[in-house]
Amino acid sequence: MKGDNLKGHFIRRRIKSGTVFSIIGVLLMLATVAMIYFWETSGREKYLYKEVVVLNQNVEENTQVTPEMLDLAKINPANFIEGAVVKKQDVNGKYSIQFLAKNSQICLAYFKDSAEEVIKEDFYIFNIPTDWIITFPNSLRSGDIIYFYPVKIEVKKEEQGKTIDNIDNLKITDKSSLLESEVAYLKDSGNREVVDTEENGQKPRYDASANISSIEIITNYEDVSRLQALADSGYKFIILYKAGKG
C-alpha cells in the first residue's frame, strides 16, 4: 500500500509541475506577444524615433510660413533629410523659395527671410544663357546687383588659314558698356534655388546650398536686346556684383 501511495504522490507532483510549466509557458507567450505589439505600435516610436518638423499642407512658392502650417512628426533619424528642421521657430515667419508638398520634411535652404520684391512694370525675369557667360562669382546670391562686362574673344589664325581652337586675346570694352541688373533667382542643376546655408556659425556667402547652374535676372526688353546684340557680335560676359539687400 505504501508503494502505491508513493507512486501516486509522484504522479500527482508530476502532473502539478507540468501544469505549472504549461501555465508559465502560456504566460511567457502572452508576454512576448504583448511586448511585440507594444514595440510595433508605440515602443519603437517612443524609444528610437525623433521629432522633425513637417508641413501639414501644400505651400506655394513665396508663401510666409505660420505656426498653423507646421506639425511635428516622429520618424527614424536615418530618414531625416540633410539639415532637417526640428524646431518650428526656426522657420516660422520665413518665406518659401519653392513649392513644398504636404507632409514633407523641410530644411532652412528651402526658405528666405523676406518676400520677393514686386517686379516693376515693364520689367521681366530673364534666364541668362550659360554660353553667354565666361565667369561669375560663386558667392553670388539672390538680390545682388550684377554688372555684365562684355568681353570680345578673338581667335588667332594660322598662316594656312586654319583656326586655332583656343583663346588668343581678350579685348575688354570700356566701363560705359557695363549693363546693370538685379539677380532674381539662382538655380542649381535640379532647378532648386541656391541660398546660404549659414550653418556652424559661418558667415553669409561662405557656404551655398548647391552649385549655381543658372542665373535669372530682373531686366527690361531694352537691356535684353542689348545683351543679345553683343552676344550675336561675338561677345561673352564676365559678371561682377555688388551685395544686395539680403
148: left (phi over 0), alpha (psi -120 to 50) or beta: beta
Which alpha helices (DSSP H) does the chain contain, by range? 2-38, 44-47, 221-232
Give domain 50-112's CATH number out of 3.30.565.10, 3.40.50.300, 3.20.20.70, 3.90.1210.10. 3.90.1210.10
- What's the rounded Cα separation, in Å, for the pair 75 and 97? 25
Cell numbers for 39, please give them.
514595440
Beta carbons within 8 Å of 27's beta carbon, 6+ residues apart? none
Domain ranges within the chain, ordered by starting residue: 50-112, 124-242
Measured CA to CA in angstroms, residue 190 lies from 95, 131, 132, 203, 233 at distances of 20, 19, 21, 25, 31
Q: Along the 246 residues of the chain, how does pLDDT read in single tens digits?
A: 545 555 555 556 666 666 766 777 777 787 777 667 666 666 566 667 888 999 999 988 778 888 899 999 888 888 888 888 999 988 888 888 788 889 889 888 888 776 655 566 678 889 999 999 999 988 888 888 899 988 886 655 554 455 444 444 455 555 556 788 888 888 888 888 787 766 544 556 667 778 888 999 988 888 999 999 989 988 899 999 887 554
| DSSP per residue, 25-76 | HHHHHHHHHHHHHHIIIIIHHHHT-EEEEEESS-B-TT-B--GGGEEEEEE-
pLDDT at 199: 55
pLDDT of res. 133 = 92
Task: Kindly give, in sequence order, each residue whose CB lies less than 8 Å from that of residue 170, ignoring residues fewer than 6 positions away.
Answer: 151, 152, 153, 154
What gap in Å lies between CA 24 and CA 197, rounded to an integer?
59
Provide the whole-model pTM. Answer: 0.47
pLDDT attached to residue 171: 55
pLDDT, residue 239, reads: 92
**208, 75 contact by CB (below 8 A):** no
